[in-house]
Amino acid sequence: MTTPDIGLGNWFHQRAVRTPEREALRFEGTTFTYGELQGQIDAVAGQLRGGGLSPGDRVGFLGLNQPAFLVTMFAAARLGAIFVPLNFRLTGPELAFIIGDAGVHTLVTDGAHRPVVDRIAGDLDVTVHLSADQASPGIPALDLAAAPIDGGVTTDGDDVAIIMYTSGTTGSPKGAMLTHANLWWNNTNALHNFDVLQDDVTLTAAPLFHIGGLNVITLCTLQKGGTVVLHRSFDPAAALQAIAEHRVTTMFGVPAMFQFMAQHPAFADAPLSSLRTLICGGAPCPKPLLEVYAERGVAIQQGYGLTETAPMVTFLAPEYALSKLGSSGRTPLFTEVKLIDHEGGEVREPNVNGEVWVRGPNVMAGYWNRPEATAEVLDDDGWFRTGDVAFVDEDGFLYIADRVKDMIISGGENVYPAEVESVLFDHPAVTDVAVVGTPDERWGETVTAVVVVAPGKSLSLEELREFAADRLARYKLPRRVEVIDALPRSASGKVLKFQLRTQLAHPEGEADGT
């Protein structure tokens, strides 16, 4: 039997052939049908091929969310090339490292980010530069009217489709090689778990260069024939308005995004009845936030995943959204999970923490040009070590405790920051909080809460400890509080705890309550 081509470029083409008239994308007042987008994809593929792009070459994209991102990605796939989405919040030297590490042949940049590329141009060995929007001297624009290709390259499922670089919070960033099969099987899992419908309208405001923004539900919706409402970036007021205007049914976000929406003055009266589900990932979702949306009749369904797993590992089915509040759910049909203790044995008892290991067709092929790093996380049986700590309850539902590296060891006791944050988040004066371990001569590490306080409110260490005393063991209570204006976050919304730890280890003044 002939193996079907499940490559990115082919499945979108097949969808466009079958439903060319359906709305695929809405962006800043313009609607694109599947047929129109496919025409642009084939035109850009023709332009890229004319620039010397061959199968296996890398195509980088630097810019905010926009149709050109998706067009470039699918065009590269049509040619058998590899797409490299770039984090637009990185500095010039950081981008130069990734572009060089990936060996990017063709680089597409939007006008807003052209200056940073110009500053590092001398450090780049890129064959072709293109603009995602307007041409500039020496930088032609993507040509949507170029002579289109006549059919795409047939891809193997094990061919690399995307190299997606991890955040690089420790050491240099690593490029996770996601194959066409990884993306296809992730979406197969998602289609079964999310019950994506052909009439769904999903709002994509999370950055597309991040696996959550791209492949939790955006590509699934396109695969099914639904509509993606695309925002250049996340804005809570714009998101609430879009939900009402476009009758949005689904949306992916990290906890901070849903938190900012809930804190916006328009939230109380915003019409949310069209929403079937909000899908939350990237970090554990505080229970108080889940309850805020539940009061509005909207279930936030937590999922758990990583860049290296394309990204789905577990998902909480709708019927358990409230009864298993705080859980990341169970594995989808084609993915396995096991927990490994610190001695290397498998955890089989419920409610016992272990490191999450994942196996399935959605697990990456490895890290680009990093065989040693790949060997550290992928064993011979295909199990991927996530570095995350979790437990499974009596019913088989996974609960993420925290990152192994974020765990605090204070006085010999293990403290998982996510548990403490969930409690502190419920304090009426707290609008945002991160818990980290800081060095302590007596305890080894001490639990430190970094808090953003609501306008007009104040908060002391004693007040916070008293508030949490009935819900947390004494050794988990913060011994130090730092109040700041805003938590540092990555473009995907994750709190940069390594940055907080560095700042707290070298304070400019005395901490509150020490």
- CATH 3.30.300.30 domain residues, the chain: 407-505
Q: Which CATH architecture has domain 23-155?
A: 3-Layer(aba) Sandwich (3.40)
Predicted TM-score of the model (pTM) = 0.84
CATH superfamily of 407-505: ANL, C-terminal domain (3.30.300.30)
Helix, strand, or coil here: 57? coil
* 498-507 per-position pLDDT tens digit: 888 888 876 5
d(C-alpha 205, C-alpha 496), whole Å: 20
Identify any residues that bridge with 178 across adjacent strands, giving them in sequence order. Answer: 162
Q: Can you read off the two tokens belonging to residue 223?
A: 């695969």
CB proximity list for 201: less than 8 A, separation 6 or greater: 226, 227, 228, 229, 246, 247, 248, 249, 250, 274
- CATH 3.40.50.980 domain residues, the chain: 23-155
Query: Greater confidence, 413 or 185?
Result: 185
Backbone phi, psi, residue 160, to 5°: -75, 130
Q: Length of the chain in residues, anyone?
A: 514
Residue 121, pLDDT > 60, answer yes
Query: Among 229-233, 315-319, 363-367, 432-436, which stretch is predicted with the lowest mean pLDDT?
Result: 315-319
* 43-95 per-position pLDDT tens digit: 999 999 999 999 999 999 999 999 999 999 999 999 999 999 998 988 888 89
